[in-house]
DNA sequence: CCCGCAGACCTGTAATGACAGGTCTGCGGG
DNA sequence: CCCGCAGACCTGTCATTACAGGTCTGCGGG
């Protein structure tokens, strides 16, 4: 197997293992390394990139974590048979953190942000009177430039005064809620279904209207009596599967 | 902080990092180390247990993975606050219980049940050698007569001897595993995606091949080293949405 | 009193060396 | 022809050393 790889940058700006991980992932994503094909051994990779086995193992560990490869003691490391497997952790914001940590570029763009009056669905989810003021936020999240998640959030305006004017670009909404309003979710309920997007949502996510997506409805609570956030998210599970960890 | 810890076993039967990880986890689970309290530093742990920092870091890495601790560069490692932890309420059987409680008739029919040899996917999910004996079970669950869930389960045969001959009709598999083999899941990972069924699965679920379904891949663990059940389930979310509670 | 900085302390990254133990292949004896 | 075993190869585990860079505390100058 002859592969030409970019030389690693040793200025310390980015860890060697992360650069190596990305280099390997590129080959896997591109299909250059097919399912169940072996990667070069740790010793070979160590030679090819002139790094220690420590660096190689760190890079491989990360890829195993991302489920892009699997290792068999005594045999080697192999490309996972499953195709697009990124890690997507529990909460929406948590998952973005994980993706970032795994070396992906995550951006969040706020499409709409406005005050309005709660409709039937929002009133029921947030358990507030019909017509109470809510802040509505529509955001599109991308991973490495690829649309990934479209979220429509509604919050009771009295809990988050001024949020309709806050700058949210590339920030986790939960971080803003915590830092600006001291709101910390204590619990959440989520319901997941498989749906087709309507024309507008499909174009936002850059898929056809016949692509099956995950629809995730969520309500977050401050305590038993206060629901402070409801959202409906459309999730491209062809990009990253929705992950639920149970501990 | 004075802590008495068990001495580590150096006979090679179990890796040192794993023993250390377990020792630390015991303190965390018992509440001896409260939320956001710092663990001893890596150097201290290294001294306390007479192991290299390599071992300590490996143990801590595993605990971070399990989300029991978090680390801050320059400060140390801390116990995760309990409340941010994910608790999963709606397991497959749990949701069936919910449905039953709501007055619906839930039936489970075993379609196939046989011994076989683990393929790549099963081997990777269960972390067993390729070709090891597994028990495979395919079940169809109905709600009020309507197909609702199609589950393909695989379990290492050595953990569940004779399961391929057990009568499972209308029983929760988890109940059988607990009662007959004393197996209790300690944790699980699940990945959810939106997919189309193939022809066979579609006819089982009585939908067309262009109906979007939830595909749920799951691995359940007894402990960090023993994975005892893997399944892939197809779920008709037009019937009941998949529920995830986070507490 | 406040600010800035040195130094202690901590985790992150990296290199190197060593050995255990699982996997595979090919050779040679039966 | 088959079986078993040596040896090559591979990942897993562990120890040691070194330095980078983030965090915190306390001291001293303004």
Going by pLDDT thresholds of 50, 70 and 90, the confidence category of residue A1 is very low
Question: How far apart are the CA of B191 and the nearest CA of chain A, in angstroms?
Answer: 4
Per-residue model confidence (pLDDT) at position B90 = 40
Domain check: are B98 and B78 in the same one? no
Distance of alpha carbon B67 from alpha carbon B28, whole angstroms: 12
Reported as a pLDDT band with limits 50, 70 and 90, residue A102 is low
Residue A82 pLDDT: 59
CB B133 within 8 A of CB B158: yes
Mean pLDDT of chain B: 82
Q: For A246, which of B120, B188, B213 is closest by C-beta distance?
A: B188
- End-to-end CA separation in angstroms for chain B: 30
For an interface test with A, the pick among B194, B210, B216 (most A C-beta atoms closer than 10 Å) comes out as: B194
Kindly state whether residue A118 falls inside one of the protein's structural domains. Answer: yes
A170-199, pLDDT tens digit by residue?
A: 677 877 787 788 777 767 778 888 999 999
Q: How confident is residue A43, by pLDDT bands cut at 50, 70 and 90? A: very high
For residue B236 the two structure tokens come to 């008709």
DSSP type of residue B38: B
Does A209 have pLDDT greater than 90? yes
Q: Which of B54, B83, B112 is at the close of a domain?
A: B83
Whether residues B111 and B170 share a domain: the answer is yes
Among A85, A89, A192, the residue to mutate for chain B (most B Cβ within 10 A): A192
Query: Nearest to residue A190, comparing CAs of A247, A149, A233?
Result: A233
Among candidates B86, B91, B241 on the partner chain, residue whose Cβ is nearest the Cβ of A192:
B241
Residues of A in contact with B91 (CB under 8 A): 246
For residue B88, pLDDT over 50 is answered with: no
Nearest to A195 among B191, B210, B212 (CB): B212
Kindly state whether residue B136 falls inside one of the protein's structural domains: yes
Nearest CA-CA partner of A219 in A151, A136, A154: A154
- Protein CB footprint (7 Å) on chain D nucleotides: 9-18, 20-24
Chain A 50-109, CB below 8 Å of chain B: which residues?
65, 70, 72, 80-82, 85, 88, 90-91
| CA distance readout (Å), B145 to A43, A57, A86, B149 | 57, 51, 36, 12
Which residues of chain B have a CB within 8 Å of the CB of A191?
Answer: 241-244
Strand pairing category for B146-156 and B187-195 = unpaired
Instruction: Kindly indicate the confidence band of residue A224, based on its pLDDT and cuts at 50, 70 and 90.
Output: low
The whole-number pLDDT of residue A114 equals 93
Residues B159 and B49 in one domain: no
> What's chain A's length in residues?
247
Task: List CB contacts (< 8 A) between B232 and chain A.
Answer: none
| Residues in CB range of A150: below 8 A, 6 or more apart | A138, A139, A140, A141, A201, A204, A205, A233, A234
Residues facing B236 on adjacent strands: none
- What per-residue confidence (pLDDT) applies to B100? 54
CB contact under 8 A, A242 and B124: no
Cα angle: B171, vertex B177, B181; to 5 degrees: 135
- Assess whether pLDDT exceeds 80 at residue B161: yes
Q: Which of A57, A101, A246 to mutate to test the interface with B (most CBs of B within 10 A)?
A: A246
Identify whether residues A65 and A148 lie together within a single domain. no
Q: Is residue B7 part of a domain?
A: no
pLDDT band at B30 (very low <50, low <70, confident <90, very high): confident
Residue A44 shares a structural domain with residue A127: no
A10: in domain? no
Number of domains in chain B: 2
Average pLDDT over residues B183-201: 85
> Under a CB-based contact definition with an 8 Å cutoff, are residues B216 and B190 in contact?
yes
Residue B98 has a pLDDT of: 54
In a shared domain, residues A58 and A154? no
The distance of A89 to chain B (nearest Cα, Å) reads 9
Considering chain A, what percentage of its residues have pLDDT values greater than 90? 40
What was the pLDDT predicted at A240? 73
Name A227's bridge partners: A221
Q: Are residues B110 and B130 in the same domain?
A: yes
In chain A, residues with a C-beta closer than 8 Å to the C-beta of B120 are: 36, 81
Nearest CB to A213 within list B67, B129, B194 = B194
Per-residue DSSP letter, B106: E
Looking at the structure, tell me whether residues A65 and A124 fall in a common domain: no
At residue B102, the pLDDT reads 54
Q: Where are the beta strands (DSSP E) in B89-195?
A: 106-117, 133-143, 146-156, 187-195
Q: What is the CATH number of the domain that holds B97?
A: 3.40.1410.10
A158 in a structural domain: yes
DSSP 3-state of A90: coil
Report yes or no on B4 lying in a domain.
Answer: no
Distances (CA, A) of B15 to A227, B66, B91: 46, 18, 32
pLDDT the model gives residue A172? 74
Two tokens, residue A83:
């195709």
pLDDT of residue A88: 33
Q: Which of A226-230, A232-236, B127-131 has the highest mean pLDDT?
A: A232-236
What confidence score (pLDDT) does residue A243 get? 75
Q: Which of A58, A79, A100 is the last residue of a domain?
A: A79
B97 shares its domain with B165? yes
Confidence (pLDDT) at A32: 87
A85 vs chain B: nearest CA distance in angstroms? 10
How far apart CA A36 and CA A143 sit, in angstroms, is 26
In angstroms, what is the C-alpha Rg of chain A?
Answer: 21
What CA–CA distance (Å, rounded) separates A66 from A69? 8
Indicate whether A167 belongs to any domain: yes
Written as six digits, the tokens of A94 are 């948590």
Average pLDDT over residues A146-158: 92
Q: Given a cut of 90, is residue A85 above it in pLDDT?
A: no
* pLDDT of A194: 93
Q: Which residues pair with A124 in a beta bridge?
A: none
Distance CA A29, CA A23 (A): 10
Q: How far is the CA of B28 from the C1' of C6 (A)?
A: 36
- Residue B8 in any domain: the answer is no
Q: What is the CATH number of the domain that holds A37?
A: 1.10.10.10
Q: Indicate the burial class of B135 (C-beta count within 10 angstroms; 0-12, 13-18, 19 or more).
A: buried
| Shortest Cα–Cα distance, A213 to chain B (Å) | 5
- Contact of A243 with chain B, judged by CB distance below 8 Å, is answered with yes
What pLDDT score was predicted for residue A87?
Answer: 35
B105 & B219 share domain? yes
Q: How many residue contacts between A and B have a Cβ separation below 8 Å?
A: 115
Q: What is each CA distance from A52 to A59, A71, A72, B156, B203, in whole angstroms?
A: 11, 19, 21, 37, 53
Q: Which nucleotides of chain C are near protein (any atom < 7 Å from a CB)? A: 9-18, 20-24
* Contact status of A36 with chain B (Cβ, < 8 Å): yes
- pLDDT of A96 > 80? The answer is no
Distance between CA A197 and CA A211 in Å, rounded? 7
Q: Nearest by CB to A245, which of B83, B86, B120? A: B86
CA pseudo-torsion sign B100, B102, B105, B109: negative
Q: Which pLDDT belongs to residue B130?
A: 72
Whether residue A141 is found in the same domain as residue A226: yes
Among A33-47, A139-153, A169-183, B125-139, whose mean pLDDT is lowest?
A: A169-183
Confidence of residue A90 (pLDDT cuts 50, 70, 90): very low
CA of B130 to C1' of C28 (A): 30
* Cβ neighbour number for residue B200 with a 10 Å cutoff: 10
- Give tens-digit pLDDT for B96-151: 555 555 566 778 899 999 998 887 778 778 877 777 889 999 999 888 788 989 99
Question: With contacts defined as CB-CB under 8 Å, which chain B residues touch A219?
Answer: none
Same domain, residue pair A169 and A215: yes
Identify the domain containing residue A133 by its residue range.
92-235
> Across residues A9-20, what is the average pLDDT?
88
Asked if A247's CB is within 8 angstroms of B85's CB, the reply is yes
């Amino acid at each position: 197997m002859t592969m030409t790889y970019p030389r690693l940058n040793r200025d310390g700006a980015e860890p060697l293992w992360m650069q190596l991980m990305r280099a390997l992932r590129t080959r896997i994503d591109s299909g250059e390394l097919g399912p169940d094909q072996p990667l070069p051994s740790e010793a070979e990779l160590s030679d090819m990139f002139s790094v220690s086995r420590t660096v190689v193992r760190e890079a491989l560990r990360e890829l195993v974590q991302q489920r892009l490869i699997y290792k068999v003691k005594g045999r080697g490391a192999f490309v996972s048979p499953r195709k697009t497997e990124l890690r997507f952790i529990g909460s929406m914001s948590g998952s973005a953190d994980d993706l970032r940590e795994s070396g992906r570029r995550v951006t969040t763009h706020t499409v709409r942000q406005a005050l309005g009056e709660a409709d039937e669905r929002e009133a029921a989810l947030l358990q507030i009177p019909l017509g109470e003021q809510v802040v509505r936020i529509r955001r599109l999240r991308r991973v490495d430039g690829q649309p990934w998640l479209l979220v429509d959030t509604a919050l009771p305006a009295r809990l988050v005064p001024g949020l309709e004017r806050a700058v949210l670009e590339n920030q986790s909404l939960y971080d803003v809620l915590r830092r600006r309003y001291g709101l910390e979710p204590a619990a959440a309920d989520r319901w997941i279904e498989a749906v087709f997007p309507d024309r507008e949502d499909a174009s936002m996510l850059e898929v056809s209207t016949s692509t099956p997506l995950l629809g995730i409805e969520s309500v977050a609570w401050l305590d038993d009596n206060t629901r402070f956030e409801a959202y409906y998210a459309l999730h491209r599970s062809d990009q990253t599967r929705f992950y639920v960890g149970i501990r």
